[in-house]
Amino acid sequence: MILSLLLGCLSSPPEDPALIDTRAYAEAIKATDPQRALALCGEITDVSMKGECTMFSARQIAKNGGHATPICEGLGQGWREVCLFEIVDAVGMRGEAATVACKNTGGFKERCLAHALQREERPISEQFPPGQEAEMMAHIRTRVTLYGLDGLTEEAIDEKMTARIVSERVLRAGRQRGAQPMSMSLCGTASESVCVEAYRIYITKIGGPGRVPKDCTLPMNPQRVSALGLPIWTADFQSLADQTWGQLCKRANTAQHHRPDHGK
């Protein structure tokens, strides 16, 4: 009797379940074998931690070519949808396969479809060479409709995507031949609104938002812009450059005006 009591006093207290869950999660994240990671996730009792752990494992299994959908289907509401969204992204689904798969992602459906459309950017750019920007935007518009993304944002997705492709081409030309001033010829057959957006993206990619001067006032001249290390423009692009810098200065000045004064 006394011996039993002594042994009971000497035995270790049960380990905190939260610590067990945390250890299993950490081991799962570090595991190089996704199936081993999935098994470790299954040992976790906390629902939220288990869902997140399983989602990451399913994503890796899908990325490696495995069939991960049943894994996501076994999760509870909420984690199931985000898990299905993650595996669509992981395998890079596009087109009809993406439209079908994204239907099961619940509140992530629009983002899932938008990502699928973004993955078409490079193939579309290759399909429509410089000089066919107008045809390219018309094609993008049909893809937007296919994905059911019409009217979901205030910005026209087809214009935004075309502008990104144009700006990427300008950047690529700069890497090959040195920094390129923005010009109408670089815009090709794109509309003026697309050209303005392409130049704005070009500026942002070269210098980032922080390079726009704090005292952003119009008109911005090429000498001042060049001094900031940002891309300038040719004479034929002047009116569109004015529009672009008008937008950039408005945003910069608005951000400056709303910045909190921690000194007060």
> Taking each helix axis from N to C terminus, what angle separates 192-207 and 157-177, rounded to the nearest 10 degrees?
50
**What is the residue whose two structure tokens read 């993955």?**
119
- Say which residues have a Cβ less than 8 Å from residue 234's Cβ, sequence separation at least 6: 181, 182, 183, 184
Burial class (CB in 10 A: 0-12, 13-18, 19+), 93: buried
pLDDT in tens, 215-241: 778 888 899 888 888 899 999 999 999
Kindly indicate the confidence band of residue 11, based on its pLDDT and cuts at 50, 70 and 90: low
**What average pLDDT is seen over the chain?**
87
Average pLDDT over residues 116-127: 96
Distance CA 19, CA 114 (A): 39
pLDDT in tens, 146-180: 999 987 766 789 999 999 999 999 999 888 887 88
- Residue 261 pLDDT more than 60? no
Q: Which long-range contacts (CB under 8 A, 24 or more apart) does 227-231 make?
A: 230/203, 230/206, 231/170, 231/174, 231/179, 231/180, 231/181, 231/182, 231/199, 231/202, 231/203, 231/206
Residue 233, beta-bridge partner list: 182
Do 137 and 162 form a contact (C-beta atoms < 8 A)? yes
Do 226 and 181 form a contact (C-beta atoms < 8 A)? no
pLDDT confidence of residue 18: 85
The overall longest dimension of the chain from CA atoms, in Å, is 99
Task: Provide the residue type at 251 as one letter.
Answer: R
pLDDT confidence of residue 211: 64
Burial class (CB in 10 A: 0-12, 13-18, 19+), 134: middle
Distances (CA, A) of 220 to 185, 186, 199, 212, 234: 21, 21, 14, 11, 13
Kindly indicate the confidence band of residue 264, based on its pLDDT and cuts at 50, 70 and 90: very low
Distance CA 7, CA 14 (A): 15
pLDDT in tens, 27-85: 998 988 888 999 999 999 999 999 999 999 999 999 999 999 999 999 988 899 999 99
Residue of higher predicted confidence among 250 and 152: 250
